[in-house]
Amino acid sequence: MWKIVLGVIFIIGGLSGQMVLRFTNSSEALAVVGVALVVWGIVEIMRRRSVGSSGSSGRPATTGDKAAMAGRAAEALGLDQRKSKALVYLYEHRSMTIADFEKLCPEADRASLEQDMQALVEMGIMTPDGERFVIT
The sheet carrying 132-135 orders its strands as 95-96, 132-135, 126-129
- pLDDT at 74 exceeding the cut of 50: yes
The string of DSSP codes covering 93-119 is: HSEE-HHHHHHH-TTS-HHHHHHHHHH
**pLDDT tens, 104-131?**
999 999 999 999 999 999 988 899 998 8
pLDDT reported for residue 55: 47
CB atoms within 10 A of CB 37: 20
Residue 56: band (very low, low, confident or very high) from pLDDT cuts 50, 70, 90: very low
Domains of the chain and any CATH numbers? 2-51 (no CATH), 63-135 (1.10.10.10)
| pTM for the whole structure | 0.53
